Each structure stands twice: as C-alpha cells, then as structure tokens.
C-alpha cells in the first residue's frame, strides 16, 4: 500500500481542516483528486490523506522527479524551494494533469516569502497557468496550475 511523503511541514487538526474554507466540500473534491490518478506529493503534511478524506491505496504514488504524474501537490514555505523543484515537477506533469502549489496563509503566522504573485512569477514562464485558488487547510492556501492551451 502506498504511503504519503514524510512530514516536514506544519500539521493541522484533521477534523477542522478537512473542509477548510467556505464551501464545505471535502478537500479531495476541491482539489480534483480521483481514484486511479498518479500522484506526486512534495512536503505534504503527515495527515494529508486524512485531510483529503481519501484512501491513498486508490492512487499510484510517484516518488521520482522524472516520473510522469497527473496530480501533483507541493507545499513550500520558501521561494528557494520552489525555484529548485518546480522545473522538474512541471516537466513531469502530464499534458492533462494539474499541479497544486500550497503556501502558508498570512493568518497562519508561519514564516514565508511566498504569495500568489510569487507563484505566478515562477510558474507562468514554465508554461502553466493558474486556474483556481483553494483554502487547503487552516494553515495552507493552494493555487492550481494547468498546462497552457496552445
């Protein structure tokens, strides 16, 4: 059975975070996570699958940077992390896939130098466009990126 990435980011209380934001929808639905997807996680909270309300056994977890995936989610607190990792992630993203990038909300008080503008500055030149913003948890915001249509 696949296991999520090792915890290296702030954790949340799963009961209050699973429907973070205002929609009341499960996180997996807000993110577009579906059974059968090939998933690449980077620095996801230890309780990511609990937060999503999803069984990771229904997915294929991708561990290598050069292996193709159709659902990616990277969590970062520092711009330098994204500068280092985004080129390889975007290169491995399947044509119809999505990449979520999460950063700490200002209200979380988690130190960060990342915001929506930072993400666009780094990712738009890589051929992706942002299409959706999401309250991932009480700590994390997320921005969804897709490949630019030609």
- pLDDT tens track for 72-90: 999 999 999 999 999 999 9
In a domain, 69, yes or no: yes
pLDDT value for 2: 44
pLDDT value for 99: 98
In a domain, 7, yes or no: no
In a domain, 2, yes or no: no
Q: Is the pLDDT of residue 14 over 70?
A: no
What is the phi/psi pair of residue 123, to 5°?
Answer: -100, -35
pLDDT value for 20: 52
In a domain, 131, yes or no: yes
Per-residue pLDDT reduced to its tens digit, 98-130: 999 999 999 999 999 999 999 999 999 999 999
Q: Is the pLDDT of residue 5 over 70?
A: no
pLDDT value for 141: 97
Per-residue pLDDT, averaged over 56-85, amounts to 94
The CATH number of residue 108's host domain is 3.40.50.150
pLDDT value for 149: 83
In a domain, 4, yes or no: no
In a domain, 5, yes or no: no
In a domain, 129, yes or no: yes
Between 119 and 23, the more confident residue is 119
Q: Which domain holds residue 91?
A: 14-147
Total number of domains constituting the chain: 1
Contacts of 14 (CB under 8 A, 6+ apart): 47, 50, 51
In a domain, 9, yes or no: no
Given a contact cutoff of 8 angstroms between Cβ atoms, the answer to whether 75 and 102 are in contact is yes
Given a contact cutoff of 8 angstroms between Cβ atoms, the answer to whether 29 and 68 are in contact is no
pLDDT bin (cut points 50, 70, 90) of residue 21 is low
């Amino acid at each position: 059975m696949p296991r999520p990435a090792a915890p290296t980011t702030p954790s949340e209380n799963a009961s209050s975070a699973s429907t973070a934001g205002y929609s009341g929808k499960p996180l997996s639905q807000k993110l577009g996570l579906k059974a059968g997807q090939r998933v690449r996680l980077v620095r996801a909270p230890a309780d990511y699958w609990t937060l999503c309300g999803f069984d990771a056994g229904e997915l294929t977890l991708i561990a290598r940077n050069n292996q193709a995936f159709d659902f990616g989610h990277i969590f970062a607190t520092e711009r330098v992390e994204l500068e280092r990792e985004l080129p390889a992630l975007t290169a491995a993203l399947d044509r119809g896939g999505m990449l979520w990038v999460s950063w700490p909300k200002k209200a979380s008080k988690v130190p960060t130098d990342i915001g929506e503008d930072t993400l666009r500055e780094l990712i738009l030149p890589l051929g992706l466009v942002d299409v959706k913003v999401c309250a991932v948890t009480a700590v994390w915001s997320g921005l969804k990126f897709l490949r630019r249509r030609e």
